[in-house]
Amino acid sequence: MYYRTITQIEETVLGCCIQVVGSVELAQTVVNTNTFLQPENRALWHCLQEMHKKRQPIDILTVIHRLEGLLNSQKQPLKAYFKIEERYRQFREQYAAQVARKVDRVVDQANLQYYCFVLVEAALRRQLFAVLSRHDKGEDRKKMLDLISDTTTDVITLLNALLDYNEKDYALYEDLLKVQEQFDKKVQKIQVSRRYRLLALIQGLQETRGLVEKQNLRLAAQLDKTIDELRNHAKRYALL
């Protein structure tokens, strides 16, 4: 059930990126190719990233066209995401239907970053599972793997608990610290992105207020109130 939900969220994020202008730029501040669980979704994110970098228009038709080009390329850059040959073959045959299904799952762009962060947390759980699987700790390892599988525990609490529990196991502790550093960098990147967009919004409202000040005092006062609320929100979450 958990992995089915994650797959649905992946499709929702990709559908929004295809349908809503600016969504790829927003999503890439949070996710990367390895964030996605399903190889088909990794391949599609690769395609969207490439199109975004080249400033190509993104919609259902252009994405299908670009996927066709990548799949028919001699280098076959998308094949690396598929460990099972048969699954890659099926994707080559059904890529257009894959894109169409994701478009049906469009989410409000206001919620896109939240969904992306859910995927980041799920990817972190998989990374922790992989780290612990490399270290044979018998019954202790089983307890820790069970803890990772408990999705009711948030990942920060989970990571801190694992660090405390394995403090004396130097090799495992070092691996867990690396995971924590990667996660902290991801969170910091998200905060910077939020700060940039919030500052841009405040600046835009200030410019609008300057234009309407003489013609509509009531609207100018409403804009002042909104700007103050945004500034207070930014200070509360250390974004200013």
Backbone angles phi, psi at 57, to 5 degrees: -65, 140
Classify residue 199: in a domain, yes or no.
yes
> pLDDT tens digit string along 156-211?
777 777 777 666 665 776 777 777 777 767 666 666 556 656 566 667 767 777 77
221 and 159, same domain (yes or no):
yes
Classify residue 104: in a domain, yes or no.
yes
218 and 153, same domain (yes or no):
yes
149 and 101, same domain (yes or no):
no
Alpha carbon dihedral 82, 84, 85, 87, in 10-degree steps, equals: -80
Classify residue 128: in a domain, yes or no.
no
For 41-65, b/e burial (b = at least 16 CB within 10 A) is: bbbbbbbbbebbeeeeebeeeebbe
> pLDDT tens digit string along 201-237?
667 767 777 777 777 877 778 878 887 777 776 665 5
Residue 238 gets the label, from left (phi > 0), alpha (psi -120 to 50) or beta, of left
Q: What is the CATH number of the domain that holds 46?
A: 1.10.860.10
Claim: this prediction has a pTM higher than 0.75: no
Count of structural domains, the chain: 2
Q: Give the domain range for residue 188.
A: 135-236
Classify residue 127: in a domain, yes or no.
no
Classify residue 119: in a domain, yes or no.
no
